Structure 1
Amino acid sequence: MQAKVQFVYVSRNDGGFMYQAWFYVGVTAVAASILWSVAELLSAKRKSGTSRTVRSLGTMVYLSLAAVLLSAGASAFCYLNIYRDYGAASRGDLPRVMKALADAEQARKDAVAKAEHDATEKEGTERARLLVEADRQRELRIAEEKRCGIGMIRSANAIYEVRAEPNEAAEKFINEKASNSRKTYYRSIDTSTMIRIVGCKDDWREVQITEPSWLTETMGWVPASIIREIQYTAHGKRIYVEADFAWESDTREYKDKLLSAVNRISRETPACSEIDTASLARSPTQGTPADPIFFVTCDPSGRAMNVWFRPTDG
């Protein structure tokens, strides 16, 4: 049965519907011939003025009648042989072949519909997979950013020369402004700088100095162990701690009292919410050995001003 249907398809594709097509041509010719005959008959009657027999009609009338018969015969012949167009062995075999063709066409349509359905389903499955993967990647990115502290403001717990790449042996950036013919200085972060974390790779962080403002061009990679968090009060005021300062011989013995005083200045002194921690020093001109006076610089990124205080002011 399947081999027969395949044979029918080949016959249709190679030969076309020859008899069926010519049958329709013949039917059209019959209709045209009949109209021609009627026109010739009416013309002949008008010319003679009297009713005549067919035998007395003109040549054109006979020709038109002959055309009717000829086209009718050709149409009948084509009609009787239409089964050949479908590859059937006889007219009696035509219904079976037609059914096989219809079944094959329906099978083709079903196959096309199934292919379209499968493609749509596959596309939907792939879209859903991509959405799930996008969500997973987003969650991983958020988790990684949280682990790395991306965008967070931090400080350092030691002096470190930033690297161009996340490894200890990577190139360092020369500080052109500070370097001279005798010594080369490199861009670095220290306990007095505020830094923003902008990148992350393994145990390294890419940072950029945010304060002081004149060092914001300093950017590079540092070990995560160099970075420390900054503490704040419930009201958003920074809490200065020991690691924020570089303690010298004349400040170290007053460390606890100086920290208390600096935090009080930060909380209570107008326009002094930001303090340059590198500026903490003992005044060389004010105070006495028994009653020393210290100072810090406030608002280093704006209108800088010095605030003098005694350790006991905390």
Structure 2
Amino acid sequence: MAFSSTISQGNSFLGFRFEEYMAVKAEKVNKLLDEAIPLCHPLKVNEAMRYSVLVGGKRVRPILCIASCELVGGDESLAMPVACAVEMIHTASLIHDDLPCMDNDDLRRGKPTNHKVFGEGIAVLAGDALLSLAFEHIASNTRNVSPDRVVRVFSELSSAIGSKGLVAGQIMDLESEGKEVSLEELEYIHVHKTAKLLEACVVCGAIMGGGNDTDIERVRKYARCIGLLFQVVDDILDVTKSSAQLGKTAGKDLVSDKVTYPKLMGIAEAKKFANDLMAQSVEELACFDAARAAPLCHLAYYIANREN
């Protein structure tokens, strides 16, 4: 996207190796996800779950969770069960979002969508199973974290994906197709459909890492910025990149007559808005130790400049 960087000292922020950090964390998450969804009876639904979870993806959400845990002084092991759970939840939302009754998409992460491979019925059940497995995984695998913090995490996650979070955004998104939508209404859609879960990833990481209430609210503000940033960039990419570049169907928002940031603001203003959100997100981390904040600062820059 070629947004300007607001990260201190450019990409060398205190010598932080961002690409290496992302690769190491993603490898650990992938290994645990593979173990968490074994091929067992009933085979078909587990195959469908594994297909969508393990097909790829940048693992931005689980890495945000881990980085937030480390930001407040926690070890990655404390956040890893939640990190895997948020990837399960995110994948479940993608499976359901791609269904013919929703966005009706054929391509996800460069491969046929779940319902195209396994059928609509299995896709619905695979998404449902991933949602329930996410909470079971946290409960069964969390160690050395107080029960009250685990309960707080359950509350954050369930709120983010329920009728006051992701579901609310999805409903408004469906109902807005072909209609005139204000900038305020568009922000409501994306805050709930996309940003709420990203916010939960970051907040839950800080909770599991032992962060105090002040720390948690500071990272929440950071997360709200990157959550909206993620969707603004998504809207821009949808009209500037090809399906091959994105790994999903390009231009589908235009075809379905959905309102987007480029449609309301123009591409230039949408890019400026994204750049402002990135800068604001980094500013929210200024009160934390710079070395510990480096991964989250770079993640904001990464989200702003991603190509798919």
Q: Which is strand-richer, 1 or 2?
A: 1
Alignment TM-score, normalising by the size of structure 2: 0.23
Alignment TM-score, normalising by the size of structure 1: 0.23
Larger Rg: 1
